[in-house]
Amino acid sequence: MKGVFPISFMLSCFLLLLDSSTALPLCLHSERPFTLNTTIGFCPYNGSTCCHSTEDEGIQKQFQLMNASDPGCASILKSILCARCDPFSAELFTVQSTPRSVPVLCNSTIPGNSSQSKAAVQDFCSEVWDTCQAVSIINSPFSPSLQGQAGGTPGNNANATKLTELWQSKTDFCNAFGGASNSESVCFEGEPVELNNTRTPMNTPHGLCLEKVGDGSYLNMVAHPDGSNRAFFSSQMGKVWLATIPDEGSGGQLELDVSSPFVDLTDQVYSDTQLGMMGMAFHPNFTNNGRFFASFNCDKDQWSGCNGVCSCNSNVDCDPSKMGNENGVQPCQYQAVIAEYTANGTASPPSSLSAKPVEVRRIFTMGLPFISQHGGQILFGPNDGYLYFMMGDGGGSGDPYNFAQNKKSLLGKIMRLDINNIPSASEISKLGLWGSYSIPKDNAFSEDKDLQPEIWALGLRNPWRCSFDSERPSYFFCADAGQDLYEEVDLITKGGNYGWRVYEGPYLFTPTESPGGNTSLNSINPILPISGYNHSEVNKNEESASVTGGYVYRSRTDPCMYGRYLYTDLYAGAIWTAIEDPQNSGNFSTTRIPFCCAHDSPIQCDSVPGSSLPALGYIFSFGEDNNKDVYILASTGVYRVARPSRCSYTCSLEKATTTPPSSPSPSHSSCCSNFFSGYLFLHLSSFLLLYIDFV
């Protein structure tokens, strides 16, 4: 059923998400586990772990001080303390956002015969109780007073206590520390958490079927937060429209009146090939508070509001006067802005059809060193309600000033800002903030003091389209445009360093110019991409290639695409899907898939000359509506992922109950073949070309 969902439904979904657990391997403070090439001394974690040798030694010391005399209990105690090194420790030691001193102890046996030998007899929580109940433990991690402290932080109780002195019964104990493993969470069974390696049966899609629903060229599409079948579309020049989306297969087109935009920001926005309105975001509570945000570029010579501090400054050991100009442009002539607007007016926000281009508040302004690679997308985190802001390295070939690795610079970073708690003007200047926002306490600087407090992740070149998986919001995907060789997709985690420009994707990178110095290979521990492609795979001459990130497909329209992350290349007319395999592993397998235009597409697609392949032009971005249908935003128009049968692709999961298309099918020969389009066929119309990758 489509249509306008009641707002209460929407809000309850929002609240449910707040409690959803993480499934991705993550360490206690949300960092990514790392791989050790040695076995640490005490805890039995080699390979992927959350403990360096210092933490391992600390755990050993803590264990020895506990002085558990019984060998059986000591062994269990050791395994419990060492669970902090488990690559799933974030999940083991956090239950509904509350940290705990002891991992979730499995209190039921896993169904089936997988762990017959031990667990089938007794669950692990009972085993802990039975083995340790009468054993004295100094600074016991099982003390009720330690609830709310992650990782068994030593208490100050030097007295030895037995479990029976702390808890009335096994039931009490296991109610406090027990829990079960399910598809979304894991529990601890005394050994490193093992993933369920059973592969999910894959309904491999034969191809991606597209229907063209609109003609315009947009950089952004954001579903209306009221849950209805409407979405906002914005152009690079700075206009935003509110459009009604037709049902899939209805033959309808986007209802969008070009002459009456929702808001027109073209007076503030400076647009050029690589500059313009790059992102927009609507407050999760937009239907009540009317708050929305635009991320755009401005020219300080043209607008007095374009008055940010230059990102090349002495704090980051950068001297703008020594900086080379790019195309005759002075450093920081162009700036990156996030501005807040309101849809409050005569009508309440859900029904308002326009907003005034009057800035309510400036969230962020920063001068850009060059004219390219400055990301600009903004997104609200579905779990935390913070505003994520993607920022590229600021341009120049090979990040000459090494901004992306500079922890004091905000270039080449993903930032995370709290726009719900706005500090006073004096606080903003005291803290040296770039605008009106506050810093979430658990940003990455809480683990690495060298990082600027705005930073969530670093080492990015030009994050061009990021998204949270709507069903598993701990999966935060960003495509990061590469330099000469490799286009990558990353899974973003707190404090994660994605390697640029020590690495370009999985390959070491050598800069041609390095006035800003280098970062040594050994000083970083980069997180490798989960997916990507060489330029040579899409372009014989290794010329331009630039990744455009998409979404994890969560619509039922094409059931064979369900759960797959979709992405594309700006130029190449190629589409890939990446699926996590096995589940919860953080490993993805990638396939390039053919695509084609539905026989009965509401607007007929242009074809690559001499073939039936659709010519999409440049693919700027993706969008997702409230039905979780996914859209491709291309220079030639807006395309929705449609039912596979409409392109004669077989997908056995697709229900055969759908009614035949109402509109007459244009005469097409066999629409979709299984070979790939390696062409870029340009439909030359009046759009601004966005060179994300340009130097």
Ligand X SMILES: *[C@@H]1O[C@H](CO)[C@@H](O)[C@H](O)[C@H]1NC(C)=O
Interacting residues toward ligand X by CB under 6 A: 37-39, 44, 46-47, 67, 69, 107-108, 110, 112-114, 157-159, 174-175, 178-180, 195-196, 198, 200, 285, 288-291, 342, 344, 360, 485, 507, 510-511, 514, 517-518, 534, 536-537, 582, 585, 587
| CB of residue 69 to ligand X, shortest distance in Å | 4
Coil, helix or strand at residue 245: coil
What does the alpha-carbon distance between residue 300 and residue 61 come to, in Å, rounded to a whole number? 58
Tell me how far, at minimum, the Cβ of 37 lies from ligand X, in Å: 4
Q: Which CB atom, from 140 or from 577, has the smaller least distance to ligand X?
A: 140
The size of the chain, in residues, is: 695
Burial group, residue 432, by CB count within 10 angstroms (0-12, 13-18, 19+) = exposed
C-beta of 154: minimal distance to ligand X in Å? 12
Q: What is the C-alpha separation between 495 and 270, in angstroms, rounded? A: 32
DSSP annotation of 665: P
Q: Please name the residues in contact with 372: beta carbons below 8 A apart, sequence gap of 6 or more.
A: 274, 326, 392, 395, 462, 691, 692, 694, 695
Residue placing its CB nearer to ligand X in the complex, 193 or 245: 193
**Inter-axis angle of helices 71-82 and 53-66, to 10 degrees?**
150
Nearer to ligand X, 450 or 507 (CB): 507
Q: Which helix (H) or strand (E) holds 648?
A: none
Alpha carbon distance 182, 59 (integer Å): 28
46/97 with CB nearer ligand X: 46
Query: In terms of CB distance, is 534 or 604 closer to ligand X?
Result: 534
Q: How far is the CB of 601 from ligand X (least distance, A)?
A: 33
CB of 179 to ligand X, least distance (A): 5
Nearer Cβ to ligand X (217/436): 436
Nearer to ligand X by Cβ, of 5 and 681: the residue is 5
CB 176 within 8 Å of CB 105: no
> Is the distance from CB of 296 to CB of 340 less than 8 angstroms?
no
Q: How far is the CB of 390 from ligand X (least distance, A)?
A: 24
Cα–Cα–Cα angle for 654, 659, 665, rounded to 5 degrees: 100
What's the min distance (Å) between Cβ of 664 and ligand X?
A: 43
Of the pair 175, 315, the CB lying nearest ligand X is at 175
- CA 171 – CA 190 distance, rounded (Å): 19
Residue 122 dihedral angles phi and psi, to the nearest 5°: -150, 145
Minimum Å gap between C-beta 92 and ligand X is: 14
The answer to whether the CB of 124 falls within 8 A of the CB of 190 is yes
Q: Give me the least distance between CB of 582 and ligand X, in Å please.
A: 6
CB of 512 to ligand X, least distance (A): 8
Residue 604 backbone dihedrals phi, psi, to 5 degrees: -65, 140
Which CB, 68 or 605, lies closer to ligand X? 68
The residue among 588 and 622 lying less far from ligand X, judged by its C-beta, is 588
**Cα–Cα dist 597/601, whole Å:** 7
Closest-CA residue to 564 (of 545, 589, 540): 589
Q: How far is CA 548 from CA 280, 375, 576, 621, 633, in A?
A: 17, 11, 11, 6, 10
Nearest to 186 by CA among 87, 304, 39: 87
Smallest distance from the beta carbon of 247 to ligand X, in angstroms? 29
Closer by beta carbon to ligand X, 52 or else 655: 52
